[in-house]
Amino acid sequence: MIERYTLPEMGNLWSEENKLRTWLKVEVEAARAMAKHKIIPQASFKIIEKKANFDLKRVKKIEQEINHDLIAFLTSVAEFVGEDACYIHFGMTSSDVLDTSLSLTMKRAGEIIDKKTAAAISEIKKLCKKYKMTPCIGRTHGVHGEPTTLGLKFAVWYTELTRARKRFKDAIEMISVGMISGAVGNFANLDPKIEAAVCKKLKLKPAEVSTQVIQRDRHAHFITEIALLGSSLEKFATEIRNLQRTEIGELSEGFAKGQKGSSAMPHKKNPITAERISGISRTLRGYALSAMENIALWHERDIAHSSVERIIIPDATILVDYALEKFIGLLKGLVVDEKRMLENIYYRGGVVFSQRVLLKLTGPIGSREKAYRLVQKNAMKAVSGGGNFRELLKTDKEVTKHLSEKEIDGCFDLKYYTRNVDKIFKRIFRQ
């Protein structure tokens, strides 16, 4: 991933140095377990444990000659260890190291992502409570529907991101498995107790059964949950982008002192962070498809998945980590224009209260259809610029025959749209 979207902690996790350091950890733990079970000499393990190291530049140079990254790594390690290096990687195959190390790194990456997801949920919860009763217009098809509250809008985000976090934690659990099972996964040269001991040390679980690789449905699950998490972030970002439009103006991103919005138009304040999150999410969904393509490998293994994973797994975790960081900052700096929200609710004299008028009229008129036509006539006139909806109702003799001015005014009271909000919040937050 390009440096622009790479944060230090996650970037360091996927560095070449850390990758080989993780390989070394797996190799040393395997040697430890083998020494304990008298498969290799205890004295040789002590030397391995003390001397095992590698030189990254040397590994790269060897790889250029032999065209195999793990063997190049083992050759460099052997140069540090000496003759006892013959007991490193004893009875193992490359994927024992590669896949177990990958699982360990994905688990760590998942923990970073989960921590930030929890932080984003916490920020949304604050917004839920702060704006619990703040009226705003609810829109369907992009058109004004009925009043709701901004707190309820945020509550939808809160519950959705909570679900995303739960699913992602399941994906972390699913990928937290290792294998030390040999060339085709049948433990021909090593007992399963070696695998169990290594996995215990690394805080992984042994895969129930493996071929020469850990099965890629696990990895696809992990990347797909990242894509789903990113898609939810895009949904929230898209809402902010829409509500920042000049014609709406209800929410907007914070704008730092000295920030510039356009090279040509000095008046611009653009939702650039939300737009960046949207773009990142599109990339993540593409990675999910690639991860699914990796599931179908030939027989006990091939390496068609390898080149794909070298790109998509580091990139997906780096990108969603960055998107979450930006989303948290966006939430903390979010600008809410409550005055504009009220203005939008009462646009054209409050046509969005038409259902309240309809319900009030239906009984006295005795026909919902007749009441609907009467309310619709006045609402459409107001929408087309023919007057103020509330005033049009008060001057319509067919309406005033059944409703007093006081009753008409009562239909425009926002309390109807907030009276059950507390009940919803208690259901969500168990208050």
- 363-384 tens-digit pLDDT: 999 999 999 999 999 999 999 9
Q: For residues 424 and 427, what is the distance between their CA atoms, to the nearest angstrom?
A: 5
* R_g of the chain computed on alpha carbons: 31
Q: Which of 262, 307, 367, 404 is catalytic?
A: 262
Kindly give the parts of the chain with pLDDT less than 50: none
Q: Give strand pairing partners of 336.
A: 251
Amino acid at 57: K
Is 421 in contact with 124 (CB distance < 8 Å)? Answer: no
For 3-46, what is each residue's pLDDT tens digit? 899 999 999 999 999 999 999 999 999 999 999 999 999 999 99
Which helix (H) or strand (E) segment holds residue 147: the answer is strand 143-149
pLDDT number for residue 1? 72
pLDDT of residue 186: 92
Is 263 assigned a catalytic role?
Answer: no
Active site residue 262: yes
- In sequence order, the 6+-apart residues with CB closer than 8 A to the CB of 145 are 137, 138, 139, 352
Beta strands in 224-295 (DSSP E): 251-252
Query: Token pair of 201, please?
Result: 């040390």
- Amino acid identity for residue 278 in this structure: S
pLDDT value at position 255?
A: 66
94 alpha-carbon distance from chain centroid: 32
Residue 263: the pLDDT is 60
Out of 141, 263, 267, 299, the active site residue is 141
pTM value is 0.92
Burial 327-338 (b: 16+ CB within 10 A, else e): bbebbeebebbe
Domains of the chain, each with CATH number or no CATH: 1-90 (1.10.275.10), 92-251+265-336 (1.20.200.10), 347-411 (1.10.40.30)
283-310 per-position pLDDT tens digit: 999 999 999 999 999 998 888 898 999 9
